[in-house]
Amino acid sequence: MNSYTEKFKKAEELYNNDSFEEALPLFEELWKESADGDAALMFANCLKCLDRDDEAVRVYNYIIEFDPTWEAPLYNLAGIYYNREEYEKAMELYQKAAEADAECGDAYFKLGECCRMLDTDNTEKAMQYYQKAVMAKEGTIYADDAHFFLGIAYLRLDKTLPAFEHLKKSNELSPDKADTLHFLGLCCEMQKKLTKAIENVDTLEI
């Protein structure tokens, strides 16, 4: 197992099996031998998975310095700041990640989350990011949550029909979540009241 490809494959198998301690020195060795960006990225990912965040930050920044438009290190570095609740730093990096790969919605979803965490007045901006997440060509692994939060946001705006559609989609993607079912029921109740109010207005004598 002397070739770079074989070594990388072995390290990657360990990483995919959550054997980060074992994968770490292999990726570090590959990186030092070849100065390959993929090995550097995986080395940083191992550090991150082992909660060695300060070291991971240094490696991610090193990679970004050489390739500032590579989505993966930007996104992963943003995740560290997000977990630290440093949302403004995270937003800056998620924005760059979204610009680097606009077809993937994950960074847009995370931008929506940052807006939500920073300030409740950012609801409209968060909605825009969630919309971009679910509309992205490659979609997002957070599609169910994006639709859920869009549904909640529309409910707050008293827009029950789009709220219902997004909550329904969220339930289709992740069936029978208690919160989603609760708000779907709330949408139905609100729509019934609205329909009843319209019927009452229609029966008024003018």
User: What is residue 123's predicted lDDT score, i.e. its pLDDT?
Assistant: 83
Straight-line distance from the first to the last Cα atom of the chain, in angstroms, rounded to the nearest whole number = 89
What is the model's pTM? 0.86
User: What is residue 102's predicted lDDT score, i.e. its pLDDT?
Assistant: 86
> What would the pLDDT profile of 15-50 be if each residue is shown by its tens digit?
999 999 999 999 999 999 888 899 999 999 999 999
Compute CA distances 164 → 74, 107, 148, 183, 187, whole Å.
Answer: 34, 25, 10, 8, 6
How far is residue 113's CA from residue 105's CA, in Å, rounded to a whole number?
13
Element (H, E) at 51: none
199: pLDDT confidence band, cut at 50, 70 and 90? low
> What would the pLDDT profile of 58-108 be if each residue is shown by its tens digit?
999 999 999 999 999 999 999 999 999 999 999 999 999 999 998 889 999
Examine the pLDDT at 198 and tell me if it is beyond 70.
Answer: no
> What would the pLDDT profile of 140-197 be if each residue is shown by its tens digit?
999 999 999 999 999 988 898 999 999 999 999 999 899 999 999 988 888 776 665 5
Examine the pLDDT at 120 and tell me if it is beyond 80.
Answer: no
